[in-house]
């Protein structure tokens, strides 16, 4: 039987692109599990399957050892104490615990919260719910590049503010936020600062203590770990930072998140963080090169394009472009051999423009014409060259078709969002 400390961790090759069916460039939605992560997880499904709360036999001891090692691997990536890492089911739960947990614990101190208008739904949703319970929320408006400044945050804080929540890097437009400056503005007023770092952890350096972050959310499936596993980092302060738990029961995770721990998932998250710590710098450099080649290759052959998000302070693998004269959903339908996402989110039968792109100043037509490319660990230079060729030829064809329809006076046909 393999113990966690002796389980092999071979250096496996990534899956061949030819076996995927299509080129995957939707890395902000999710990432494939790294084969090295999967190999680390496998023994904990069948051989070392114990419950870490069972402390009377070797199966429980081995599971607990594996969980604590993973906790240390996550802490090592973020520069925190392992006791500050609380395991959850993912970033959505972590965000909810940070926001509702603070609201419940600090209700007597104030009822005002600050966030941005372009946060992920797992942050905006809790704030909308708290508004129904009598809390007041200030939604900061971003610049044209999606930026939120520390001055905006400082200007929004009131004597009744108890929490500021600004993401670390944007999931749609890739903009990276000035966490240290925002945290400093919060610390000067003794306000808790939470960041949803789901898109940033493992992609850019995040040294939590030096940044001054109080609460940080992360998830496994955005950094080549398993889905359904995440964590909330809760900095130890004096006095200790208190949260009201969302889930009650067995008092697991120091009473903040009851429920039997997902040991294989936690082991995978830890392994993913260990690999990220070792390889992040080189991987980011490679992805920036591929992303810039993709951007240059498309822009050199097409006109009427615009970049969404900050041109420099953006995630290494993110490229969000608007293509004038082309509807984003039509472009995606025509690029079935490339997995990308549109800036438009379809709800029922009506495609709505991205609330993020609208917030940074794009009109509906421009917002509808956007594509988000999310490059990742297994993206190759050969794939990027293929994508450049396919995107350019497809945009030209769709523009020619639209022009022909307009010149002939034929009404445009509605584009199906069911694809």
pLDDT of residue 405: 79
Phi-psi region of 281 (alpha: psi -120 to 50; beta: other; left: phi over 0): alpha
pLDDT of residue 410: 53
Low-confidence stretches of the chain (pLDDT < 50) are 1-19, 344-350, 414-419
Nearest to 323 by CA among 275, 370, 391, 379: 370
CATH 3.90.1150.10: does it fit domain 280-402? Answer: yes
pTM of the model: 0.90
> In this predicted structure, what is the pLDDT of residue 343?
56
The predicted pLDDT at position 229 comes to 98
Give the pLDDT confidence score for residue 239 in this predicted structure: 60
Q: Which residues are catalytic?
A: 346
The domain segmentation of the chain, as residue ranges, is: 34-275, 280-402
- Give pLDDT, residue 389: 97
Predicted pLDDT at 21? 75
Which residues have C-beta within 8 Å of that of residue 16, sequence separation ≥ 6?
none
Q: How far is the C-alpha of 322 from the C-alpha of 365, rounded, in Å? A: 9
- End-to-end CA, the chain: 47
The pairing of strands 230-234 and 192-196 is: unpaired
Q: What is the pLDDT of residue 344?
A: 42
Supply the CATH classification number for the domain 34-275: 3.40.640.10
């Amino acid at each position: 039987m393999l113990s966690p400390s002796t389980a092999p961790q071979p250096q496996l090759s990534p899956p061949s692109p030819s076996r995927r069916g299509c080129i995957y460039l939707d890395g902000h939605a999710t990432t494939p599990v790294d084969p090295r992560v999967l190999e680390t997880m496998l023994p904990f499904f069948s051989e070392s399957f114990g419950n870490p709360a069972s402390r009377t036999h070797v199966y429980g001891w081995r599971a607990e050892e594996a969980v604590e090692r993973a906790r240390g691997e996550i802490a090592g990536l973020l520069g925190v104490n392992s006791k500050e890492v609380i395991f959850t089911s993912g970033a959505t739960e972590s965000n909810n615990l940070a926001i509702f947990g603070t609201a419940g614990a600090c209700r007597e101190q104030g009822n005002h919260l600050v966030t941005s208008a372009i946060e992920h739904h797992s942050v905006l949703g809790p704030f909308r719910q708290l508004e129904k319970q009598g809390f007041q929320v200030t939604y900061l408006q971003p610049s044209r590049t999606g930026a939120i400044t520390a001055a905006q945050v400082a200007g929004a804080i009131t004597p009744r503010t108890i929490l500021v929540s600004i993401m670390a890097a944007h999931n749609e437009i890739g903009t990276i936020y000035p966490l240290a400056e925002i945290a400093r503005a919060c610390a000067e007023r003794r306000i808790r600062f939470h960041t949803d770092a789901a898109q940033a952890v493992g992609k850019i350096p995040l040294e939590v203590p030096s940044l001054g972050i109080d609460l940080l959310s992360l998830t496994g499936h955005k950094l080549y770990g398993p889905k359904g596993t995440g964590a909330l980092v809760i900095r130890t302060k004096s006095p200790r930072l208190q949260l009201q738990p969302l889930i009650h029961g067995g008092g697991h995770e120091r009473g903040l998140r009851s429920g039997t721990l997902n040991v294989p998932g936690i082991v995978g998250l830890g392994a993913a963080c260990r690999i990220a710590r070792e390889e992040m710098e080189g991987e980011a450099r490679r992805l920036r090169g591929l992303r810039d080649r993709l951007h240059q290759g498309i822009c050199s052959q097409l006109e009427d394009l615009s970049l969404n998000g900050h041109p420099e302070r953006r995630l290494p693998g993110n490229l969000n472009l608007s293509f004038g004269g082309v509807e984003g959903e039509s472009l995606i339908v025509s690029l079935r051999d490339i997995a990308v996402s549109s800036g438009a989110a379809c709800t029922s039968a009506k495609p709505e423009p991205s609330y993020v792109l609208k917030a940074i100043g794009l009109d509906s037509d421009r917002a509808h014409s956007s594509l988000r490319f999310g490059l990742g660990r297994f993206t190759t230079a050969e794939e990027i060259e293929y994508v450049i060729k396919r995107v350019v030829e497809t945009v030209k064809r769709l523009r020619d078709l639209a022009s022909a329809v307009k010149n002939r006076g034929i009404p445009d046909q509605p584009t199906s969002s069911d694809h």
